Amino acid sequence: MNEWNRSDLTAFLESEATGLVYFYTPLCGTCQLASKMLLVIEELVEIKSGKMNLNFYPDLALDFAVESVPCLLIVQNGVVRETLYAFHSVPYLLDKIKEYIS
């Protein structure tokens, strides 16, 4: 999953794409586990996705009402459709994501 900056995120949302935005912090142990799960997801489905270190974008935490990390935004046609904080398992994430992709 590629690291995005603010411009990447804006371009993704303005293009009305469907994909994933993953917010994390590097010292969060749960985030490290979630990152590994998302690497597996990337191999299983073709979906645009990017990750952002929330330490550098605290305003985005407010904009997207991020309550904690890890946080996964599922975006469909440029609109956030679901926000996940509990990743549970790879099959759980895969099922959630497949609800939004054609």
Q: Name the residue ranges covered by the structural domains of the chain.
A: 2-98
Question: For residues 64 and 74, is the Cβ–Cβ distance under 8 A?
Answer: no
HSE (CB half, 13 Å, CA atoms) of 93?
27
**Could you tell me which of 62, 42, 53 has the C-alpha nearest to residue 5?**
53
| Tokens 């949302």 -> residue | 13
Q: What would the mean pLDDT of 86-99 be, rounded to a whole number?
A: 96
| Residue 75, pLDDT above cutoff 80 | yes
pLDDT band with cut points at 50, 70 and 90 for residue 102: low
Question: The pTM is what?
Answer: 0.95
Residue 31 scores a pLDDT above 90: yes
Whether residue 74 contacts residue 26, with contact meaning beta carbons closer than 8 Å, is answered with no
Residues paired with 84 in a beta bridge = 72
What fold is seen in the domain 2-98? Glutaredoxin (3.40.30)
User: In this structure, how many other beta carbons lie within 10 angstroms of the beta carbon of residue 74?
Assistant: 21
Distance CA(81)–CA(97), nearest Å, equals 11
Amino acid in position 18: T
The per-residue pLDDT for 66 is 97
